[in-house]
Structure 1
C-alpha cells in the first residue's frame, strides 16, 4: 500500500469499520508489541548507532531533591508548561501524557507542530477541590476548570540556537478540551447525538499517514461515570470520581474513543 497515495477515506474503507484493530493494522500503525518494526525513514544511521554505543553515562546517587536530575553530559530545558499562554485566549493544559511532533516540511525537522495529551486533572492544583476535606462541595466553576485542563494542546515549536521554543500566538496554537464539540464518525447517533462534548482521559496517541493527530481516551469513567447494564434491560449510572455529571449530563457512551484532530 502506497502511503503517499492513500487518503483518509480510502484508508478507512480499506480496513473496514469492524476490522480497525492491531490484528489487521498495516506496519505504519503498529507501534506496540514485540513484533513492531520501525519504518525505513525511522532507521538510525550506522554513525548514529555507533555514537549511542560509545555513550557512557554515569549513574546517579539517590536523592530527595524535587527536581529533574541528570547525569553528567546531559542537559534539559522546559519548552512549555502548564498555564503557559499559547495564544490570546488559551493556556497549556495539565498532566502531559502522549506527545508527538509533526514537521511542516519533512526536509526541515526544526519547525513544526507539537501535540500533547492532557490526561487527567489533579483537582487540588487545578481547581482547589480537596478530596480529603470532609466538608468538600464541588462547584460548577471547579468542574469547568478541571474540564479545561484536560484534552490536548497544539503548539508550533521551532528549534533556534540549539533549543526548542514555542512560537507565540501562532495561528496553529490552540486547545482541545473537555468542552470542545467533537463529531462522531459513526453510522447512527450514539445516545441520541452525532456530536459529543469534549475529550478527556487522553492517554495514548499517534499520527496518521495523512498528517492528523490521534488521541485515545482511556479511563473515561472517572469523569462521567459508567453505565451498568442489567439482565432485565435496565441501566444504572455508576458515579464518577470527579463528579462532572453533577453539572453536565454527558453520557459515558460518548467517551472512550480514538479522537482524530486535524491541526
Structure 2
C-alpha cells in the first residue's frame, strides 16, 4: 500500500538503528534494569509485545475529526468542564500529558489517570481581561483550569472507557494548590525567601518516577504569573504528585532547574544514581540532565523523592560531547574571567550577571542563563526527551526553529559513554528529519512500544497548520515508525487531529490494548465565540470545542 504517509525513512535514520532493531526483538536485555525500563517514558514501559504497528495508515486530513485507522475507535474519557468527583471538581482546560497508574496491581481495565492542563483560552474559559486586569473570579478560573487532574477510569462490560465520578482518589491540583519547594532554592533570596508557593500552571508534559509518583513540568508560565501578580521565580519547575495519597505533600524540585520544561524522563545510572533528562522548549535553548547525589533504593519507596533534592544539574555541550555541570563555582569563575562578555541570547550585561549569581540557588533559578554562560549548546526547541528502553540511548525531539531555517524539526539521538546514563560524555546523531520526505513536521512527544516502533506526535503551530510549506501535512497527527518487519523504516500515520488541535500525552495501559491521548486546543484559531473553527468532540447541543482525553481501543491481544 503506497501513500504519502509511508515514506521510506531509512536514509534519515542513524547508523545506530541496527542496534535498536536488534534490541527490539525482546526486552530480555533489560531484566537487570526492570525499574528503569518500566519508567523510562510516559508512553512505553510494559513488556507485553502487543502494539505492533499493524494497521492501515491513514492519509493526511484537514477534517474537524479525530481520525484513526480502520478497526480502531475512541471514547471521550474526560473533556473540559466535566465533573470528576463527588465534590464537584471539574476537568481543566487544554489537557496535555497523561500517565496511567493501574489499580490492583497491573490491572489494565481500571486505574488512575494523571492529566496535565497547560493553559487556558480566554474565549472559552476566563474571558477577556478588563482595563484594570482580571477580576477575582476571572483569576480563579484562570488558575483553577491549569495544573492537573487525577481521575479514576475503568473499562465497562462493553469495552468502553468511562470515568468514575465517585472515586476516592479523583481530585484537582491547580494554580491555587499550596506547594512545598525543595532543593537549593528553597527559602533563598532568589525566590523571595519562599519555602511554600501558590499553585502550578503551564503544565506541559511530564514523566513517572521509579517510585510510582508523577512528575509534571511547568513550561510557559510567564503570562499566568504576570496576570495573577505572582512571583515568576516560583514557576518553571518540575513538580511531583502522589496520585494515591492526597496527604502526601505536593512539591517543586528546584535542584532540577527552572526553565521552560517540556518533560522529564527518569532512569538509573550504572551506579544506581537517579538520572532525569529534560528539555527547555524554547528556540535556542539547551538540553539538561540531573544526576542525584544518592542512589535509588526500591525498598524506600516514595522516600526516594529525597533524591531529587540533592544532586548536580548538567547541560549538554553538543560541540564537545560533554555534560557541563551547572555549579555556582563554575559560573562565578566564568563571569569573573577578564574580558567576559554576556552571551547574546541572555540579554543582560556582564555586570548584571556577576551580581545575579551569588549562590547555587541563583544557578537553578536562572538555569538557562547559567547553561549558556558555561558553554552549553543552544538548540532548536528541545521538547520531549526520552530514554530508549532497549539500549539506553536518548531521543530528543527538536521541534523546529525558524530563526535558523529549521522549519520541520528533527529527532536527535544521544549515545552516552559506555551506555551509562550517569556518564559525562556523549556522542549524537540526527536520527530523523521532519519534512516532505518523512511525511511529518514538527516532532514533539516521542516513545517506543514494546515491538520497537517509534511513536511521535506533531506540533505544527495553529497559525501554520495547512498554510505555506506546512500545507502538505494537513492537521497535526500521531505517527508510528516501525524498526523491524516488512514496514521497517516507514512512517505510518495512526491519527489525525481535529481542526487547530494538537495531539499530546499518549500513554498505554499495561497490556497495551488501550492508548490514552490528549486532544489539545481544538478550535484554537477561533476569533468570534459564535463562529468556532471547530466543534470537536461534537457533543450534542454543545456550542464550543472542548479539549479532551480519549481512550483509543482496537489493539489486539
Q: Deviations over 1:16-41 (max 9, x none)?
A: xxxxxxxxxx6665449xxxxx65xx
CA distance in 1, matches of 2:239, 2:181: 9
| Equivalence for 2:122 | 123
CA contact (8 A) 2:150 2:172 kept: yes
Q: Deviations over 1:80-139 (max 9, x none)?
A: 111111122310110001011000233312111000000011111101216xx9x68532
Q: Which runs of 5+ in 2 are unaligned?
A: 1-31, 244-557
CA distance in 2, matches of 1:91, 1:217: 21
Shift of the 69–138 alpha-carbon distance from structure 1 to 2, 3 Å rule, reads same
More RCO (CA 8 Å, sep 6+): 2
Q: Which runs of 5+ in 1 are unaligned?
A: 5-25, 33-37, 225-239
Task: Report the TM-score when normalising by structure 1.
Answer: 0.69
CA contact (8 A) 1:60 1:71 kept: no
Q: How many residue pairs align between the two structures?
A: 205
Q: Give RMSD over aligned pairs.
A: 2.6
C-alpha deviation, 1:2, in angstroms: 7.2
Residue 257 (1) aligns with residue 253 (2):
no
Task: Report the TM-score when normalising by structure 2.
Answer: 0.34
CA contact (8 A) 2:147 2:201 kept: yes
Q: Deviations over 1:172-216 (max 9, x none)?
A: 000000000011113541312111100001011111121111101
C-alpha deviation, 1:253, in angstroms: 0.9
CA distance in 1, matches of 2:154, 2:38: 26
| Equivalence for 1:179 | 176
The answer to which structure has the higher strand fraction is 2
| Equivalence for 2:153 | 157
| Equivalence for 2:550 | none
Equivalence map 1:100-139=2 (5 Å)? 100-129=99-128, 137-139=133-135
Residue 244 (1) aligns with residue 241 (2):
no
Equivalence map 1:28-47=2 (5 Å)? 30-31=40-41, 42-45=46-49
Equivalence map 1:7-156=2 (5 Å)? 30-31=40-41, 42-45=46-49, 48=50, 52-53=53-54, 55-57=55-57, 59-60=58-59, 62-63=61-62, 65-87=63-85, 88-129=87-128, 137-156=133-152
| Equivalence for 1:166 | 163
SS at 2:142's partner residue?
A: helix
| Equivalence for 1:193 | 194
CA distance in 2, matches of 1:126, 1:70: 29
CA contact (8 A) 1:129 1:136 kept: no
CA distance in 1, matches of 2:34, 2:37: 11
CA distance in 1, matches of 2:150, 2:99: 10
SS at 1:223's partner residue?
A: helix
